Amino acid sequence: MAAEVLTNIPLTSLPKISQGKVRDLFSLPDGDKPTLLFVTSDRISAYDVILKNGIPSKGVILTLLSAKWFEVLSSRVPGLKHHFLHLGPPSSPGLVTEDEKKMLRGRSMTVRRLKIFPIEAIVRGYVTGSAWAEYEKTQTIHGLAEPAGLRRCERLPEPIYTPSTKAELGDKDINISPNEARKIVGDKYASRIEELALACYKAGAAYAEERGIIIADTKFEFGLDEETDEIYLVDEVLTPDSSRFWSKADYQVGRDQDSFDKQVLRNWLTDNGLKGKPDVEMPPEVVEKTKARYTEVFELLTGNSLDEALNNLA
Ligand code: ATP
Ligand code: MG
């Protein structure tokens, strides 16, 4: 297994298109359709700030878990199109160096390059986080009326689509109503995005629940193939970074739940007055415990150990 922690992706053979909190996107030579290399680093963010050091193997865990979800969702959501083409870069000789190829193993995927809709397609199955804060005040979630008497972290009668704006790096996403999202993406696409987001959440949540994990809520992104006018599921999918995962065994309504993945880090940050501060370095025990949580979630959801999954790669 790649023991190195990669907070920066050492890839110079391909032009870099952009860098997000966790991923670096690289341009690939034109084929039939525009594609890009989607590379996930070991960077981790909490309370919207990127930590100075990373979590070993996190990029591999998120990439292989997303790949698994593309496979699962394809078979469970009728008509779903997604951006995933294959793991790793295209095999064309000389495209990347041998060292780069090794570095990219398990943490990169070739995807269709699409025009991203500028909203976060959030779906919630449970009332928590910013949705709970709003509900407590006004009995609404993203402006939608909800039944009276819901308790903290209670399961909603039906999953709901609660989009947000997609802020630029450093800015905060703002919760909006489905109607406001409709104005942003346009009437033509709004209903289909909502329908796909709900269908992907329902299929994913059912799959996870059989494996002991509650997906309380999650964020999807969608993109448009402007040539065919078709909507694609893009980005990472149903990972601990894009979702709130809770342990089904520990779940209790009426109180906050520990999140499966980042709780150790969040607790350490708040206990030490470091919440939201830049350039914070995690101590080894926080890194180790966080890595263990990400690994556990990967193993529960895929049924494979991380080593097995890496060994299964071509
Ligand atoms: P964001 O809030 O934009 O997701 P981020 O910091 O989480 O910010 P990363 O996850 O690090 O971003 O980077 C992934 C970026 O790649 C996102 O901006 C996402 O919209 C974009 N993206 C995902 N899939 C595609 C695709 N198929 N084509 C083009 N861009 C994509
Ligand atoms: Mg992202």
* pLDDT of the residue at 172: 81
- Beta carbon of 2 within 6 Å of any ligand 1 atom: no
* Strand locations in 65-193 (E): 84-87, 108-112, 115-116, 119-126, 140-141, 144-145, 155-161, 164-165
What are the angstrom distances between the C-alpha of 234 and each of 81, 111, 173, 200, 278?
9, 8, 18, 12, 29
Q: Which portions of the chain are predicted below pLDDT 50? A: 1-2
The DSSP letter of residue 14 is: S
CA distance 304 to 243: 20
Residue written as token pair 């180790």: 288
Candidates 39, 45, 55, 66; CA nearest to 4 is: 55
* pLDDT of the residue at 2: 45
Contact 307, 1 (CB under 8 A): yes
Q: Say how many Å lie between the CA of residue 296 and the centre of ligand 1.
A: 25
* pLDDT of the residue at 1: 46
Reduce the DSSP state of residue 233 to 3 states and report it: strand
What are the angstrom distances between the C-alpha of 96 and each of 103, 104, 113, 234, 312?
10, 10, 19, 24, 22
Q: Is 227 exposed, middle or buried (0-12, 13-18, 19+ CB in 10 A)?
A: exposed
* pLDDT of the residue at 47: 87
* pLDDT of the residue at 171: 77
Q: What type of residue is 28?
A: L
Q: Say how many Å lie between the CA of residue 22 and the centre of ligand 1.
A: 9
Contact 124, 56 (CB under 8 A): no
Q: Which atom from ligand 1 is nearest to the alpha carbon of 22?
A: 11
CA distance 248 to 35: 38
* pLDDT of the residue at 168: 77
Tell the residue nearest (CA) to atom 31 of ligand 1: 235
- Beta carbon of 21 within 6 Å of any ligand 1 atom: yes
